[in-house]
Amino acid sequence: MKQVLTRVYSTLYRHFGPQYWWPADSVFEIIIGAILTQNTNWQNVEMAISNLRKAKLLHAKKLYLLKTKKLAQLIRPSGYYNIKAKRLKCFLKFLFNNYNGSLSKMLNKDLLSLREELLSIKGIGEETADSIILYAAKLPIFVVDAYTKRFCQRHRLTDINASYAETQKVFMDNLKEDARLFNEFHALLVRLGKEFCLKTKPKCKECPLKN
DNA sequence: TGCCAGGCCGGGT
DNA sequence: ACCCGGCATGGC
């Protein structure tokens, strides 16, 4: 298994090169994006974030003070905008109630404590929490998303209905515990997924892993 | 034009 | 402990 993963990683890296994830200008933007991208095309998320940027609202305090209704309208292109506005507000309430709005204070703790805290916030599940831990806090946890699961299922690294935790374990038990590696590997799987074999209807013609 | 996208929650078995 | 419906836009 270790060798399989190593070969997959090096093949993808050779093919695509570094992905420079997470695509965002700030830690705050990473977290907002992580919530907005739940079951949503990243292109739509970019439109929503662009709206916030144009309105100069990409700051914790500003969003914290913004009415939920107004926030919902701004993030409309990301879909599920009512529920996502509530989720963003829920996160911001947590941030201000517990850390006086300081992201660095919130993120500056050990991985398991941070994960537990994030999961206690309504609207933040395992993937969103792990994305924040890996890409915002830069701590070594492997992010499992739809592409990651499909990858593991189709390559028989897990069984067909493996849980989030089981899928995550495949990577974490067989790779060096290294945030930089986890970052690049997950980003490469998403890149592969968007372009080739990990869509719900796979198009594997030119998949880099074909051999 | 219908289907899909970088999930999560709440209520029901 | 799982399973399912609901949430919604924009792109192809």
Per-residue pLDDT of chain A (211 residues; tens, 9 = 90+): 999 999 999 999 999 999 999 999 999 999 999 999 999 999 999 999 999 999 999 999 999 999 999 999 999 999 999 999 999 999 999 999 999 999 999 999 999 999 999 999 999 999 999 999 999 999 999 999 999 999 999 999 999 999 999 999 999 999 999 999 999 999 999 999 998 756 655 555 466 665 4
**pTM assigned to the model:** 0.95
Enumerate residues 6+ apart whose C-beta is below 8 A from A23.
Answer: A33, A42
User: Which of A136, A153, A175 is the endpoint of a domain?
Assistant: A136
Q: What is the DSSP letter of A47?
A: H
Classified as helix, coil or strand, A11 is helix
Chain C bases having any atom below 7 Å from a protein CB: 2-3, 7-11
Shared domain for A99 and A9, answered yes or no, is: no
Residue with tokens 């880099």: A208
Give the nucleotide at minimum CA-to-C1' distance from A161: C2
Structural domains counted in chain A: 2
Give the nucleotide at minimum CA-to-C1' distance from A83: C7
Shared domain for A57 and A95, answered yes or no, is: yes
- For the CA of A3 and the C1' of C10, the distance in angstroms is 40
Q: What is the DSSP letter of A155?
A: T
- For the CA of A8 and the C1' of C5, the distance in angstroms is 37
Shared domain for A100 and A173, answered yes or no, is: no
CA distance A126 to A169: 13
Q: Please tell me the predicted confidence (pLDDT) of residue A197.
A: 59
Q: Which of A33, A67, A31, A69 is nearest to A50 (CA)?
A: A33
Give the nucleotide at minimum CA-to-C1' distance from A44: C10
In a domain, A208, yes or no: no
- For the CA of A110 and the C1' of C11, the distance in angstroms is 40
Give the nucleotide at minimum CA-to-C1' distance from A147: B6
Q: Say which amino acid occupies A101.
A: G
Q: Please tell me the predicted confidence (pLDDT) of residue A211.
A: 43
Shared domain for A66 and A154, answered yes or no, is: no
Residue with tokens 């892993």: A209
Chain B bases having any atom below 7 Å from a protein CB: 3-10
Q: Please tell me the predicted confidence (pLDDT) of residue A196.
A: 78
Q: What is the DSSP letter of A136?
A: I
Shared domain for A13 and A97, answered yes or no, is: no
Contact indicator for A139, A172 with CB cutoff of 8 Å:
no
Q: Which of A139, A130, A149, A148 is nearest to A185 (CA)?
A: A148
Q: Which of A49, A20, A22, A21 is nearest to A36 (CA)?
A: A49
- For the CA of A41 and the C1' of C11, the distance in angstroms is 9
Shared domain for A167 and A147, answered yes or no, is: yes
Shared domain for A152 and A68, answered yes or no, is: no
Contact indicator for A196, A203 with CB cutoff of 8 Å:
yes
